[in-house]
A and B are shown apart, each in its own frame.
Chain A
Amino acid sequence: MNGRKTFGGGGASGGRGRAGQTAQGKDGQQRRPMFRRRKICKFCADKIDDINYKDARLLMPFVPERAKILPRRISGTCARHQRKLRVAIMRARVLALIPYTAE
């Protein structure tokens, strides 16, 4: 379990690494000082309790181009709402409101 799970900026350097190390990796490559924008669950923020399978407009943003369900790590949806979202998307697909795949 050596950290692939770094969420703050900086130190995704390999191995354990000493605590005081700078953002500069061993290979001399610049580690992204990239700004990660805070992710917020859309459904928590908008207080949408009912993720309804009939509401294709609501679901569409979560099935981009390839029509795959957008993972939580990208959309920032919380676990509870992602579960409900998944069920809603699967139902909407049955009714051909949302595609299973892109043509």
Chain B
Amino acid sequence: MNRKYELVYLVSPDASDEQVADLHTQIDDIVQRLGGQIDKTDNWGRRRLAYEIGRHKEATYVLENINGSGEVLKEIDRRLKVSDLVIRHLVVRVDENQEVIERTQAKRSDASRRRRTARGLPPDRQPGEGQRGDQDDDRDDRFDMSEDRR
């Protein structure tokens, strides 16, 4: 049973680019061996950490979208825990959540189309139609973080 996972790991800033690339190939190997695949890799580059981990103040972030069974991730998790280079990692299963998001989006666009046809409009919004953009709403009364002090 293949599932979709997201793996983010933080590589120590002391590591060279080759070492980061090497880490990726190692993970790729594990995934291949256990019958999964990596859908996408995204290197966010070096970022400041919000707090110190060990003695590190920054780290290289790498995100991998992995399609595979739980066994794959179990093995990767084990390996990353042992690795000295990786100072932190997180595995999240995303397929279920993605489904929910798609469903709500479909529901929303569906509802809006129904409303529009009920009003005798074409089901999709025409260019240049509707209210002003979201940005220039001066009557906006949603929370904007500047007023949370009691």
A interface, CB within 8 angstroms of B:
37-42, 45-47, 49-50, 53-54, 61, 64, 70, 74-77, 91, 93-101, 103
Contacts and interface: CB of A to CB of B under 8 A. Distances in A.
Contacts of B144: 61
B61 A47 contact: no
Contacts, number: 60
Q: Which 10 A-B pairs have CB atoms at the shortest separation, nearest pair first?
A: A96-B49, A61-B145, A40-B142, A99-B50, A49-B101, A96-B50, A75-B143, A74-B148, A50-B101, A76-B143
Interface residues of B, number: 25
Nearest to B48: A96
A42 B63 contact: no
A91 B88 CA distance: 12
A96 B104 contact: no
Contact of B10 (A75, A77, A96): A96
A96 B148 contact: no
Given A50-B101, A94-B90, A96-B51, A76 B142 contact: yes
Nearest to B102: A49
B53 A40 contact: no
A95 B51 contact: no
Contact of A98 (B50, B63, B90): B50
B109 to A, nearest CB: 10
A101 B10 CA distance: 20
A6 B111 CA distance: 34
Contacts of A53: 92
Contacts of A70: 148
A74 to B, nearest CB: 5
Interface in B61-112: 61, 63, 88, 90, 92, 97, 101, 104-105, 108
Given A37-B141, A42-B143, A93-B50, 6 more contacts: A70-B148, A95-B88, A96-B10, A96-B50, A96-B59, A99-B50
Nearest to A84: B97
* Most chain A beta-carbon neighbours within 10 Å: one of B49, B51, B63, B150: B51
Contacts of B23: none
A22 B105 CA distance: 47
Contacts of A95: 8, 10, 61, 88, 90
